[in-house]
Structure 1
């Protein structure tokens, strides 16, 4: 994984994370991937994408700001088994001066089908004050470039879906 930004980023639509295998230790007693590990895989993909944007660990260290998740919604669509190769695709759906809206899909890396999705809003936070803070102009420029690249794709299935049951939905 990248740990610093010393080049002009090239954005693909969508961003595709590094591959990895589902570990047997991540499975629960039902033979399902534990919820925490879906979050881990999605979180690592976000970290890769943020590093490409120049907003990874080096940014946090040098500029004193980072990202905190404000909201996330995961949909579990198909079981992943141990040793499956997986990748995450990530799209920057929207942004403003302090937030980014991401949509991710966890894919079986060899067969392509989708196991889960994660829609997330992350806040740009000053690490000293722990308050939400605007992006610097150079960061907004890179975010705008990534968003423009991802905007060419059709809306993903399930975007904006709310959590509910029955007649109250």
Structure 2
């Protein structure tokens, strides 16, 4: 797969720009205004900077497996990023971050704010991109394991998961 042209905005980039990140939280009471920029950095990362970009996002959207409200639009951006061509290292990081989010749980203050279904909403957003995740597993051996990790959470024993596993 090739990289999105620097002059054109892909679906994920447009979604980042359309999201009011400041209305979400990344920690108890801390605005997630910088999460959109961190997502943009991840999507545009070169091979040498991808680990730093991935770690930065992990710290912002799922620190120590605690989900804050910013995880929901962030996982939507990650899913949307699979629509457009991306370098392999970015696609793997996207799948790994999806898995981390789906392996987390709402932070206690999110639950207190009535946001206890945050994980379920994140999983629903990932399910919307289920066939894109299967495509990653089928098209690129390097993405196979990361895609299966996500599928095991959102489609355990389902058709998409079985299809992805049937080719290897």
TM-score, L = length of structure 1: 0.29
Which one has the bigger helix percentage?
Answer: 2
Quick check: which one's strand share is greater? 1
Structure with greater Cα Rg: 1
Q: TM-score, normalised by structure 2?
A: 0.29
